[in-house]
Structure 1
Amino acid sequence: MKKWLLTAAVAASFGSVADEGMWQPYQLPAMADELKAKGLEISADSISKLTEFPMNAVISLGGCTASFVSPKGLVVTNHHCAYGSIQYNSTADNNLLKDGFLAKSFKDELPAAPGSRVYVTSEVTNVTDNVKFGLESKTGNDFYKGIEKQEKALVAECEKEAGYRCNVYSFHGGLEYYLIKQMEIRDVRLVYNPAGSVGKYGGDIDNWMWPRHTGDFSFYRAYVNKDGQPADYSEDNVPYEPKSFLKVSAKGVQNGDFVMVTGYPGRTNRYRTSAEVENQFEWNYPYSKELRETIIDIIKETAPAGSEDRIKYESTLAGLANYAKNFTSMIEFYGKSTMLQDRQAREQALADWIAANSERSAKYGKTLAELTDLVKQGEAHQERKLITGYMGYSSMMSSAERLYRLAHERELPDMQREPGYQDRDMKRFTSGLERIDKRFAPKVEKAIVFDLLKRYAKLAKSERLAAMDKVFGINGKANDAAILARLDEMYAKTSLNDKATRLGWMKKSVADFKASNDPFIQYAVAMFDTDMAAEKKAKERAGKLMKVRPQYMDAIIAYNREQGKPVYADANSSLRVSVGHVKGYSPEDGLIAEPFTRLEGILAKDTSVDPFDAPKKQLELIKQKQYGDYYMKEIGSVPVNFLSTLDTTGGNSGSPTLNGRAELVGLLFDGVYESIIGDWGYDPQTNRSIQVDSRYMLWVMKYLDNADNLLEEMEIVR
């Protein structure tokens, strides 16, 4: 698919459905007139240039988005995006999650959790021809390996420049490939987070809901060596000086104002087939929701609130609860929607369009049937795959498996190793092993694994794995006691719960693993051949999908172009831009949701009991109407959160919400309950993103936490 085709499609369709779409920066110049009409005051060309303001101020944390807000590498993101680092630095006696943290000087800043990164995107290159070259006749595993080999070569060449991390991203299901180059800043430090009763006000109850009153923001700082290059943590490092940073608006936005968000949205599925939709909503989401809710209950039962064990699992709990509620909404809205019928109708319309033209029939005639067949193949053994996938919550099992895989991969030349096990991956690999100490409690993990193994043991023998059955003594009979006894033995005898021991295994040979008496190492050795056979089979299917999915997307893009519909790629964690307006919505008949919430809403909700237990100082400030410079006349108070029509998803968390001058007016942190389904389709009536208002962020910093040093460091505009 040539770039001109997508650009033309954008120009033809943007005006009618402008708020839908997570756009690649290169597409934005084609939207210039419409963007200007909507309220963009800076040049649309500037948003397409990653090395210029404002795009070079927007950064990735590898799962969340953030932005530079000072010339000294100060980074603002969501509280929940910094949660892992806040948790990592917390203990029962010094609970930063509960009490908050503020570094009054550079020397007081705390190292973020191991593996924390700041990624500054510097270059995006279309490498479609390079990736696919010479692979036209390949299929299945050969095609998969061919793509992988050429991606690794491109990455290796790109990473010859020290301090950069490069990755090849697939767009439109493999129709296009882009090489993305990012500066990788490895010394990241925690600077400031408000108390949990501000940063997580409303907790899981308010998650995905409106009205919202959450101060979901925190600050990091990026550090480099004295030469300005990325380096590991050192006291000699200095704050990174970005090429540009965002000014923070104390004026904020009004109802109806233009806003845009730049960030790194994770995954959307707007072009998935009806077969994929049906399986995901009618099987995967319900089962995944139940598993997550069970694990949440297990953690809470085995690790009392406030205990060291609970603190270790607070970040895990937050992630589990977030997606359990997400899946609940997905299931609920699917059940009362016509999504499946709409997808089926879309596919039929596409099939009719293809059949109406002999050239299209020759090109796409078999595509949908082939894709549907491959999708169905992927549903085989899915219950077992889901259960064993959730065993990834076991640090002992997953670290043993990864370490043994590393021993095998180290026997190969670096360029022949599996991605994730190359020399370029070892710092990340090491950080993952180091983090375990602060996120692992044997009693908790054992209870989680026990529940999952009981589920696994109930599967038919044809669905189970002989190697796993042997490790845990599973024979299809009621043997819960035997499974628990085996787990008791494994957790009592393992030495992988010691960090130095774990790290030491990174240099061990395959023979060393086979000779080990550690029960989790023995588990990894016993499962290896089975795991590799399953991986080979999965790659064979993936390789076929990588040939068929692009054909399907090519047909959809051509069809959508004729229909005047928007053409944008599904989100894939690469840098995107969404545009929209500040706007409320009507979630159901008779209800109208206003676009702003106020400080007084915190008072109204507060019960003095978690999660509605705002700091007493904050409640007094609100009662005294201490609004300061952040008063919004239209609502008679300081705005806390606001709604927008921005098209966003997970990964956009922490994204700067900008006004037409590219000033920061908020931080995106959530969506409303009705918009969760937006991962699968955009509804202009109910799709709303939730932002923490910049005025509330500044108010908390000034009046509640006295973060004057940070306020002075930022450039605040009115």
Structure 2
Amino acid sequence: MCGAVWVDAAQAVEGLWTPPQLPELASQLKQAGLRATPKQLGQWADPKGDPLGAVVPLGGCTASFVSAKGLLLTNQHCALGAINLNSTPQRNLLRDGFKTGTNNEEVSAGPNARIYVLDSVQDVTAKVQSALTAASDPLARIEALDALEKQLVADCEKTPGYGCRLYSFSGGNSYQLQRSIEIRDLRLVYSPPDSIGNFGGDNDNWMWPRHSGDFAFYRAYVGKDGKPAAYAIDNVPYQPRRWLKIADKPLGAGDFVMLAGFPALTNRYAMADDFQANADWTYPTVAAHYRKLAALIEAEGRKNPEIASKYAGTLRGWQGAAKSYEGQVESFRRANTAQIKRDEETALLEWLGKKGAAGSAAVSAHARLVELGQQARAQRDRDLVIGQLYATGSLATAMQLYRSAIERAKPDSLRENGYRQRDQAAFENQLRQMDRRSDPRMDRQLQNYWLREYIKLPKEHRVEALDRWLEGDDDKYIKRALDRIAKSRLNNPDQRTNWLRADRLAFEQGKDGAKDGAIGFAVAVMPTVLRMEQEIRSRAGETLTVRPVYLKALADYRKSVGQVAYPDANGSLRVGYGTVTPYTKDNGARQLPFTRVEEIVARNSGAAPFNAPPALLNAVSAKRYGGALVDKRLESVPVNFLSDLDISGGNSGSPVLDAQGKLAGLVFDSNWESVSASWLFDPALTRTISVDQRYMRWILQEVFPAPRLLAEMGVPASGK
């Protein structure tokens, strides 16, 4: 569940504010430098208005419309799925870049690529709380919430072309049903070569100074009637009601900036024990696994370019996550975060204790949340290994297909999310695209890794059904299991789709079912997985009653000491604000807020990941700076800049707006010192790293030219 966070009103930079909260912050915004009248601020507070209506979620990232013809701007790393999907060993779009001269040359981002343009917001708190109150026990409570959510979403989506989602705020103290236009035809328009978009590679991830051109363009398409439609060659560009204008004022140190995006999750007020578990076990354990898995892919990729291409996104994700987790653990120690969390919780409990009977319900809620956390962690080793094993290659496919067969036996309204009729097309598309993103040879190595991790578990943490399927604990039995999986019909794309409509008995008793290596695995472990799910759901059902009580008490406590509240991130649209500002590293080194194109030349080694393309090097050498793109204070074109904006995962691709609400940059990373900001925000050290819009325009003009995109955004090529 999502919590809530409280900060001093004077700390303008911290906060993942909901848009309607902006008028409450009018004085802070004005003091920070926002140039908006009360009427304009009212428009900013409307998530469908100008400029926030231009900002949309994109598959775990954020994007924004930048033209009236459906042109979307996001990070290159957010477009990797589309880039890899359209790449071949002979035509590597990541390495060589991709650009188009006409709309006809734009390529599909994939059948499952989606954006959602917000259409309406409805408060449904009373309906949800009524359903929860009527439930008889924790499991019934979570089932009641699921049933109500499905009903609300189904009613909301009766009009074709819309997608709906129920959001919980502040741990369940309020709920919103949001309806959005679901655009299903996205096409890749432009992506610079990786030597621009990911200059510095993993070496530079979370680092400053940075010199990355991490941006790419999509275009949204709809049917000829203007309604959302699946990809078709005769679809037409979507015409958004809102799109961002490119900044026409040079951004400098100390200037106001604002950010809009879809942060996935923050845990600023998680329970102290939950924080400790992540710091001491989850993050270091998962990071170590990801490093080992990444090494396997890198080794195989050096021998096989096809595997390197297919797993590029997976590899970058694992490497980034591992570096983030390792950095967070280091940051927790440096900032003494565990003690801060413990002290905050102690202060709240002491305040509640002084309230006597009035505080007893919240004290009891706290105690129960501690117990529920301990229960959730009791089998964490087992849960991690089993979860990763059945999410790998053909085993993942078998689990999804078998679960789909189980769910199809139920009425559609009672099926689990992800297996309803509305999800079927996306699932089928995923199966058909599987061979473009995975390879049985590589998957075998990953499955081998997790099977070996499984047999290391203590006997009391093992799963009896999986032990029977594996038949033994040594290398011989693991090899036999891998051989069975390798022979699975699910590795064949034609046979894989045959199982889409198979019923449960075909998996469990059919001659081609249980004898199949991957399907046999799914049939063996599914009862255990379903039981684990029920345990999780039961705890979640109890959390639904105690978490809101605890967070309401926390809100009251913070209000009593004059602090302002905002809800934890939950994937919905949030706004942050601050300034372009430097910082000082732990070693005392003062960091400048901008980097310049000359620094790319200085760092260029000619070898990845510091291999700037010749066109860029030549443009810098000839000082082809593009006239208005030069910052006179820097005497150069700025590349990346720092700000004290508050972000979290999901903010990648978020637009950075200037004091006039125009696009000044694009978020793509944070500095190393802020890697733990989802748990604790440090205003002195937390910094967001963004691509300056002037650098994007310079690349589009001088290095990897796309004049039609500049013209479409209303910024024709500048003078030399």
TM-score by length of 1: 0.96
Q: Do the aligned residues in 2 keep the contact of 1:17 with 1:566 (CA within 8 Å)? A: no
- SS, match of residue 189 in structure 1: strand
CA apart distance, 1:140: 1.4
Q: Do the aligned residues in 2 keep the contact of 1:114 with 1:434 (CA within 8 Å)? A: no
- Asked whether 1:684 is paired with 2:679, we answer no
| Distance (Å, rounded) in 2 between the aligned partners of 1:542 and 1:152 | 17
| Distance (Å, rounded) in 1 between the aligned partners of 2:550 and 2:243 | 41
Give the corresponding residue for 1:184.
182
Cα 1:83–1:143, aligned 2, differ >3 Å: closer, same or farther?
Answer: same
- SS, match of residue 311 in structure 1: helix
- SS, match of residue 241 in structure 2: coil
- Asked whether 1:28 is paired with 2:25, we answer no
| Distance (Å, rounded) in 2 between the aligned partners of 1:20 and 1:434 | 43
Identify the range of structure 1 (627-636 vs 193-202) with the bigger mean alpha-carbon deviation.
627-636
Find the partner of 1:485 among 465, 480, 483: 480
Q: Do the aligned residues in 1 keep the contact of 2:481 with 2:517 (CA within 8 Å)? A: no
- SS, match of residue 129 in structure 1: helix
| Distance (Å, rounded) in 1 between the aligned partners of 2:168 and 2:254 | 35
- Asked whether 1:106 is paired with 2:103, we answer yes
| Distance (Å, rounded) in 1 between the aligned partners of 2:35 and 2:249 | 16
| Distance (Å, rounded) in 1 between the aligned partners of 2:614 and 2:168 | 50
CA apart distance, 1:156: 0.8
Give the corresponding residue for 2:639.
640
| Distance (Å, rounded) in 2 between the aligned partners of 1:656 and 1:262 | 6
| Distance (Å, rounded) in 1 between the aligned partners of 2:432 and 2:351 | 55
CA apart distance, 1:425: 1.4
- SS, match of residue 124 in structure 1: strand
The superposition leaves residues 478-506 of structure 1 with CA deviations (integer Å, 9 ceiling, x where unpaired) of: x0232023202321x21212333323322
Paired AA for residue 312 in structure 1: K
| Distance (Å, rounded) in 1 between the aligned partners of 2:591 and 2:34 | 26
CA apart distance, 1:306: 6.2
- SS, match of residue 387 in structure 2: helix
Q: Do the aligned residues in 2 keep the contact of 1:14 with 1:31 (CA within 8 Å)? A: no
Find the partner of 1:84 among 76, 81, 85: 81
CA apart distance, 1:281: 0.5
| Distance (Å, rounded) in 1 between the aligned partners of 2:249 and 2:283 | 42
- SS, match of residue 118 in structure 2: strand
| Distance (Å, rounded) in 2 between the aligned partners of 1:319 and 1:113 | 19
| Distance (Å, rounded) in 2 between the aligned partners of 1:234 and 1:382 | 46
Q: Do the aligned residues in 2 keep the contact of 1:124 with 1:181 (CA within 8 Å)? A: yes
CA apart distance, 1:338: 1.6
Within-5 A mapping of 1:286-435: 286-304=284-302, 307-435=305-433
| Distance (Å, rounded) in 2 between the aligned partners of 1:223 and 1:54 | 21
Q: Do the aligned residues in 1 keep the contact of 2:111 with 2:184 (CA within 8 Å)? A: no
CA apart distance, 1:359: 4.6
Find the partner of 1:126 among 123, 127, 135: 123
Within-5 A mapping of 1:187-266: 187-266=185-264
- Asked whether 1:700 is paired with 2:699, we answer yes
Give the corresponding residue for 1:531.
529
Give the corresponding residue for 2:132.
135
Q: Do the aligned residues in 2 keep the contact of 1:224 with 1:237 (CA within 8 Å)? A: yes
Q: Do the aligned residues in 2 keep the contact of 1:250 with 1:698 (CA within 8 Å)? A: no
- SS, match of residue 609 in structure 2: coil
Paired AA for residue 664 in structure 1: L
Give the corresponding residue for 1:499.
493
Identify the range of structure 1 (301-310 vs 58-67) with the bigger mean alpha-carbon deviation.
301-310
CA apart distance, 1:358: 2.8
Within-5 A mapping of 1:37-56: 37-42=31-36, 43-56=40-53
CA apart distance, 1:393: 4.6
Give the corresponding residue for 2:506.
512
Q: Do the aligned residues in 2 keep the contact of 1:56 with 1:122 (CA within 8 Å)? A: no
Paired AA for residue 527 in structure 1: V
The superposition leaves residues 154-205 of structure 1 with CA deviations (integer Å, 9 ceiling, x where unpaired) of: 1111111211111111112222211111111000000000000000100000
| Distance (Å, rounded) in 2 between the aligned partners of 1:204 and 1:671 | 13
Q: Do the aligned residues in 1 keep the contact of 2:484 with 2:516 (CA within 8 Å)? A: no
Q: Do the aligned residues in 2 keep the contact of 1:580 with 1:645 (CA within 8 Å)? A: yes
Q: Do the aligned residues in 2 keep the contact of 1:249 with 1:716 (CA within 8 Å)? A: no
Identify the range of structure 1 (525-534 vs 674-683) with the bigger mean alpha-carbon deviation.
525-534
| Distance (Å, rounded) in 1 between the aligned partners of 2:621 and 2:284 | 44
Q: Do the aligned residues in 2 keep the contact of 1:112 with 1:188 (CA within 8 Å)? A: yes
| Distance (Å, rounded) in 2 between the aligned partners of 1:15 and 1:142 | 40
Give the corresponding residue for 1:467.
465
| Distance (Å, rounded) in 2 between the aligned partners of 1:119 and 1:231 | 13
- SS, match of residue 302 in structure 2: coil
- SS, match of residue 642 in structure 1: strand
- SS, match of residue 691 in structure 2: strand
- Asked whether 1:94 is paired with 2:88, we answer no
- SS, match of residue 577 in structure 2: strand
Cα 1:507–1:31, aligned 2, differ >3 Å: closer, same or farther?
Answer: same
Paired AA for residue 535 in structure 2: K
| Distance (Å, rounded) in 2 between the aligned partners of 1:33 and 1:571 | 23
Q: Do the aligned residues in 2 keep the contact of 1:46 with 1:52 (CA within 8 Å)? A: yes
Give the corresponding residue for 1:3.
none
CA apart distance, 1:435: 2.7
Give the corresponding residue for 1:448.
446
- SS, match of residue 90 in structure 1: coil
Q: Which consecutive unaligned segments of at least 5 residues does structure 2 have?
A: none
Q: Do the aligned residues in 2 keep the contact of 1:35 with 1:44 (CA within 8 Å)? A: no
Query: Cα RMSD between the aligned structures?
Result: 1.6
| Distance (Å, rounded) in 2 between the aligned partners of 1:50 and 1:359 | 41
| Distance (Å, rounded) in 1 between the aligned partners of 2:301 and 2:488 | 21
Paired AA for residue 26 in structure 2: A
Paired AA for residue 648 in structure 1: I
Cα 1:458–1:306, aligned 2, differ >3 Å: closer, same or farther?
Answer: closer
Q: Do the aligned residues in 1 keep the contact of 2:62 with 2:652 (CA within 8 Å)? A: yes
Give the corresponding residue for 1:19.
13
Cα 1:393–1:556, aligned 2, differ >3 Å: closer, same or farther?
Answer: same
The superposition leaves residues 46-91 of structure 1 with CA deviations (integer Å, 9 ceiling, x where unpaired) of: 1221221111111111200000011110000000000111011111
| Distance (Å, rounded) in 2 between the aligned partners of 1:434 and 1:666 | 36
Cα 1:473–1:172, aligned 2, differ >3 Å: closer, same or farther?
Answer: same
CA apart distance, 1:137: 5.4
| Distance (Å, rounded) in 2 between the aligned partners of 1:383 and 1:89 | 38
Q: Do the aligned residues in 1 keep the contact of 2:15 with 2:576 (CA within 8 Å)? A: yes
Provide the aligned length of Structure 1 versus Structure 2.
705
- Asked whether 1:655 is paired with 2:654, we answer yes
The superposition leaves residues 335-382 of structure 1 with CA deviations (integer Å, 9 ceiling, x where unpaired) of: 233211111111111011111113532431311111101101100110
Q: Do the aligned residues in 2 keep the contact of 1:270 with 1:570 (CA within 8 Å)? A: yes
TM-score by length of 2: 0.96
The superposition leaves residues 458-478 of structure 1 with CA deviations (integer Å, 9 ceiling, x where unpaired) of: 11111010111111223xx4x
Q: Which consecutive unaligned segments of at least 5 residues does structure 1 have?
A: 1-5
| Distance (Å, rounded) in 2 between the aligned partners of 1:673 and 1:308 | 32
Q: Do the aligned residues in 2 keep the contact of 1:23 with 1:577 (CA within 8 Å)? A: yes
Cα 1:415–1:686, aligned 2, differ >3 Å: closer, same or farther?
Answer: same
Give the corresponding residue for 1:544.
542
| Distance (Å, rounded) in 1 between the aligned partners of 2:412 and 2:567 | 32
| Distance (Å, rounded) in 2 between the aligned partners of 1:617 and 1:442 | 39
CA apart distance, 1:706: 1.6
| Distance (Å, rounded) in 2 between the aligned partners of 1:667 and 1:622 | 22
| Distance (Å, rounded) in 2 between the aligned partners of 1:47 and 1:192 | 29
Q: Do the aligned residues in 2 keep the contact of 1:224 with 1:230 (CA within 8 Å)? A: yes
- SS, match of residue 180 in structure 1: strand
- SS, match of residue 679 in structure 1: coil
Cα 1:523–1:161, aligned 2, differ >3 Å: closer, same or farther?
Answer: same
Q: Do the aligned residues in 2 keep the contact of 1:250 with 1:694 (CA within 8 Å)? A: no
